[in-house]
């Protein structure tokens, strides 16, 4: 089992819809969880982080964490074409290593 897994893409949603990105992790002792956005040919850019169970909202983005089920998700409301990118889930494990998932490619169709 890979340490961090993400739902396979590509994911396509129409403009204005909600995009849902999922991530699961294997280390139950993981403490911190991050979502990065990576445009093609660019470096990853941090967009959200979450440490506690529940929801965390920032503008159109909502991160959801469920440590019991070992999953973290990212919801993007009112998706825009500019949201089209690869979204990387990153997990800081119990041994202080930040592990990235393979990424999910999102395409928002105008």
Partner 1 sequence: EAGVVQSPRYKIIEKKQPVAFWCNPISGHNTLYWYRQNLGQGPELLIRYENEEAVDDSQLPKDRFSAERLKGVDSTLKIQPAELGDSAVYLCASSSRQGANTEAFFGQGTRLTVV
Nearer to partner 1 among residue 21 and residue 34 (C-beta) = 34
Q: Does 99 bind partner 1 (CB under 8 A)?
A: yes
Determine the size of the site formed for partner 1 (CB under 8 A): 22
Nearer to partner 1 among residue 1 and residue 96 (C-beta) = 96
How far apart (Å, rounded) are the C-alpha atoms in residues 20 and 12? 10
Query: Which listed range, 14-22, 45-53, 56-64, 67-75, lies at the site for partner 1 (CB under 8 A)?
Result: 45-53
CB of 16 to partner 1, least distance (A): 28
Helix H, strand E, coil C: the string for the chain is CCCEEECCCCEEEECCCCEEEEEEECCCCCCEEEEEEECCCCCCEEEEEECCCEEEEECCEEEEEECCCCEEEEEECCCCHHHCEEEEEEEECCCCCEEECCCEEEEEEC
Query: Which listed range, 12-20, 38-46, 58-66, 75-83, lies at the site for partner 1 (CB under 8 A)?
Result: 38-46
How far apart (Å, rounded) are the C-alpha atoms in residues 20 and 64? 11
Can you tell me which of 34, 62, 65, 72 binds partner 1, judged by CB under 8 A? Answer: 34
Interaction site with partner 1 (CB under 8 A): 4, 31-32, 34, 42-46, 49, 51, 88, 90, 92, 96-103
């Amino acid at each position: 089992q890979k340490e961090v897994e993400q739902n396979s893409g590509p994911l396509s949603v129409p403009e204005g819809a909600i995009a849902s990105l999922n991530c699961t992790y294997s280390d139950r002792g993981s403490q911190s969880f991050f979502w990065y956005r990576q445009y093609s040919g660019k470096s990853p850019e941090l967009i959200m982080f979450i440490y506690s169970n529940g929801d965390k909202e920032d503008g159109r983005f909502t991160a959801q964490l469920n440590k019991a089920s070992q999953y973290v998700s990212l919801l993007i409301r009112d998706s825009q074409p500019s949201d089209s990118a690869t979204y990387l889930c990153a997990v800081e494990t119990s041994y202080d290593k930040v592990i990235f998932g393979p990424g999910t490619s999102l395409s928002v169709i105008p």
